Structure 1
Amino acid sequence: MLTYETIKMLCKKKGVTVTGTEKALGFSRGSLCKVDTSKPSMEKVQKLADYFGVTVDYLMTGNAPHKEKAQGLTAKDERDIAKDLNNIMQKLTSGEAGPASYDGEELDPEAADLFRDELELALKRLKVINKEKYTNKRYKK
């Protein structure tokens, strides 16, 4: 069941007030304070989940694993990451800058795939961090 304590905790984590959340989502004032005694519609619950970047399951139970959605990556960001990743892997496999090796041994295809996966994760994290750090305050949501 959706509880006010869960909403307060998510608001604190996001750095907003409950009233500010109500305004941002277009809810009436005080509506989130009454979630313990009333039954909000699934539409409202879904809006809350999207706003906080959590699953509806987490909002309803409060103890399900906190699964954050992909933070702030647009389709363009995904394309940029894929392009950068392909360029890096192309240089690695072509031997442009010398053979790819670790401890004097050449990189086998399985290790190259693992490296590609880890590099993709690192590029995604870096993109999110850079967007948060270098985006002007007036353009942030």
Structure 2
Amino acid sequence: MDKSYLKERRLQLGLTMLEVAKRVGVSEATISRWESGDIDNMKRDKIALLAKALEISPLLIVGIDEDDNTKKPSSLPPLTPRDERSIKKKLESVLNDLMPDSALAYYDGDEPMSDEDKELLRISLENTMRLAKQMAKQKFTPKKFKK
């Protein structure tokens, strides 16, 4: 794994390997090996100390881009009116299958599910169906049809 950004950041801050090593509590050689990528399995406490010393996010050190971690729903393809109708139809079908007279899904043993719980379940199912549809569109749409 390429960790050259660690060295670049250290140099940007005007720090020597010895200064960073003292702040983190490791040897200069360890800092050198981290910067060259020879050591990939850093301990969590050392990641936190190194991030503090270099004034960067610990996520960057472990190779997680903060932008990837906070993906916005807009990065998924939009749903068409046809998709909306399909989701609505499937949702109605699933909810009808869960009606108390046709199944025990709304019944937890003591008392039937409240109207509020039913509505929360409906919202959850709808959001899940929307997300699944968008993810499927993103994954299975050929590149030539993507905008």
- Report the TM-score, using the length of structure 1 for normalisation: 0.46
- Report the TM-score, using the length of structure 2 for normalisation: 0.44
**Which has the higher Rg, Structure 1 or Structure 2?**
2
